[in-house]
Amino acid sequence: MSTATQQSPARPSVSAAGERITLGQGLHDSVVVTKRNLRRMMRIPEVVIFGLIQPIMFVVLFSYVFGGSINIPGAGVDEDAYREWLMGGIFAQTVTFAVAGSSAGIAEDMQKGIIDRFRSLPMARGAVLTGRTFADLVQTAIILVVLMLVALLLGWRVHEGALNALAGFGLLLLLGYSFTWIGALIGLSVRTPEAATSAGLIWLFPLTFISVAFVASENMPGWLQPVAEWNPFSATVLAVRDLFGNLPPNYVAPDAWPMQNPQLASALSSVLIIALFRTLAVRKFKSSAR
């Protein structure tokens, strides 16, 4: 009895709370959960297909319906200039919409009891959420690549070289990854996948439209311009336009700091969103297990 009594306290800290799980084990657990979610996504290719329909519709509608009537700073009313201006906003909007998939997927796993099964295993608690967000990041990258190919067919071009293009692609994925953590928190906070989908999308529309994604902030009412210019979404949009070479030659950025330093503002805001919402999501995950 004495031997059993001495050995038993060392076991629960790994399987129940995960305090003694090392960083390497946590990364391994995250990769395992990522593979599980990717295999699941491969069985439902419709998710990628329908994920492409909306951004393609936005490109066609805004390019050919509104493109000839919207003024672009430095270019005026020019349909070709607007099409290149538009694509940075469409790319950024597409990666942020990954939040709906993250929230709905986690809510579904919660509803089916899969999350409870993960909790019973000797694995890092944060690995369940990290694995899900990594899988969503892979799916977002696939959708983004296909969308870029469609944009090339519609006349969009990169004018600043491969390295800048890769940097722009990286900023877009970083933004998308940061928003998947918002989706993770939403998915843990609602009861059904349907509610998670609605909660994941309803706030995205004002976030993306009150920005420089579709029109310049100069075209907005004076009181709304600072909101659009300090919107972290706007920083990424302007950053990728600059990196892809899609800004008009005579374009002058607004005086707001994020608009003057879009690449830095984009990276900082995405990292801050990850740090904040990952902390909140993991805390929510742990508290809901009690």
List, for residues 152-183, the tens digit of each pLDDT value. 888 888 998 899 999 999 999 999 999 999 99
- Amino acid occupying residue 40: R
pLDDT value of residue 69: 72
- Residue range 1-29: mean pLDDT, rounded: 51
CA distances to 14, 16, 69 from 83, rounded to whole Å, are 54, 54, 12
Look up the pTM and report it. Answer: 0.85
List C-alpha distances in Å: 171 to 79, 186, 227, 263, 264: 26, 23, 21, 8, 10
Asked whether 96 and 270 are in contact (CB, 8 A), the reply is no
What percent of the chain clears pLDDT 70, i.e. is strictly above it?
A: 87
Residue 277 has pLDDT above 80, yes or no: yes
State the Rg of the chain over Cα. 22
Q: In this model, does residue 8 exceed pLDDT 70?
A: no
Please tell me what DSSP assigns to residue 25: H
Q: Is 60 exceeded by the pLDDT of residue 17?
A: no
Average pLDDT over residues 225-230: 96
Which residues 6+ apart lie within 8 Å of 279 measured at CB? none
pLDDT number for residue 259: 96
Lowest mean pLDDT among 48-57, 216-225, 237-246: 48-57
- More confident of the two residues 198 and 22: 198
Are 281 and 188 a contacting pair, CB within 8 Å?
A: yes
Output the CA torsion 282→104→115→143 (10° steps): -80
114-120 contact pairs (CB < 8 A, 24+): 115/285, 118/33, 119/289
